[in-house]
Amino acid sequence: MGLVYERVGTGPPLVLLHGLGHRRQAWYPVVSRLAPQRDLILVDLPGHGESPPLDTTGRSVRQALIGDLIDLLDELGLDYPHLAGNSLGGWLALEAAASGRAASVTAFSPAGFWRTSRQFSYARAVLRTMQILGRVGRPLGPALSRKTAGRALIYAVIVSRPSRVSPVQAAGDMAAFLAARKAADSILSAATSFTDFIPANVPVTIAWGTRDRLLSPRQALVAKERLPAARLAALPGCGHVPMTDDPRLVADILLRGSRAESGLVGHLGDGLPAGVRTALPRWAARPPVRPRGTGTPLNYFGR
């Protein structure tokens, strides 16, 4: 059994990849804005949502994640689709592009761009704390999901506007996060930095929420260093998972990043949506604050 996905819409194919511990429904807030112009494929990653468990038999975590995605693309007959992802999904989209399987990539707060091991250790500790609190608070999940204050608690680290998350979505997200624990633990244990090469004819957009509390917006500087041709865009007021924080802005960036004249036959043209900074946003242009201690970036999900 392959990865579970939903397909809706018309136009150039755009594959949407969620983050660690999430599920394909993370993209629902932007579907209605995208479907009239894009053939959307919303994917549950291995060990997440309704997809089969992450299978690392005879292969590394990195190989399993990339291999299962490429198998899905092959199954759907998509040689060079537009790819987009959030967090882990952003890393996976970039890796697929480095493997020659993307027309373009749009990544929202992608994993793999911490400058030091200390920065990654912080994100890993936060996610594991969320797992522990989620297991302890599981009996309260339905009640927390129904209240705005409860949703603020559930999404404290990853969403800046939890009131925009519906109770149904919150309950489903919490259940999915806990169910994905085994895969998440394997992925976190294997995680290191992204340093792969992406061909110059594959346009890349890196978007970062200015209120991301899990992966610092300053990591956009690292992304720009490693992907010099990439466009950077700030998402004002958005958190780590921006799709509910500002669906219109996220959809606009996805449409522009995946428009027909980009990909293998051109480059991103003029500008992103009004009010969105490109190139080096002001918050990323300042010299980064280096945490105490040292850390050497490794290859994300090293070979």
Q: Is 17 exposed, middle or buried (0-12, 13-18, 19+ CB in 10 A)?
A: buried
Integer Cα distance of 18 and 274 in angstroms = 26
Provide, rounded to the nearest whole percent, the portion of the chain with pLDDT above 70.
80
pLDDT digits (tens, 9 = 90+) for 235-278: 999 999 999 999 999 999 999 999 854 433 323 333 344 444 44
Residue 163 lies in a domain: no
Residue 274 lies in a domain: yes
Q: Give the pLDDT score at 302.
A: 28
Residue 94 lies in a domain: yes
> What residues make up the domain containing 241?
5-120+189-285
Report whether pLDDT(201) > 60: yes
Report whether pLDDT(198) > 70: yes
Structure tokens at 25: 């429904």
Residue 171 lies in a domain: no
Q: Give the pLDDT score at 46.
A: 98
Q: Which among 228, 227, 251, 247 has a CA at the least distance from the CA of 238?
A: 247
Mean pLDDT of the chain: 83
Residue 151 lies in a domain: no
Q: What's the CATH code of the domain at 64?
A: 3.40.50.1820
Residue 88 lies in a domain: yes
Is the pLDDT higher at 52 or at 289? 52
Residue 218 lies in a domain: yes
For residue 162, name the pLDDT band (cuts at 50, 70, 90).
Answer: confident
- Mean pLDDT value across residues 124-142: 72
Burial 79-110 (b: 16+ CB within 10 A, else e): ebbbbbbbbbbbbbbbbbbbeebbbbbbbbbb
Q: What is the dihedral of CA 250, 256, 257, 258, to 10 degrees?
A: 110
For residues 178 and 78, is the Cβ–Cβ distance under 8 A? no
* Number of domains into which the chain is organized: 1
Q: Give the pLDDT score at 303.
A: 27
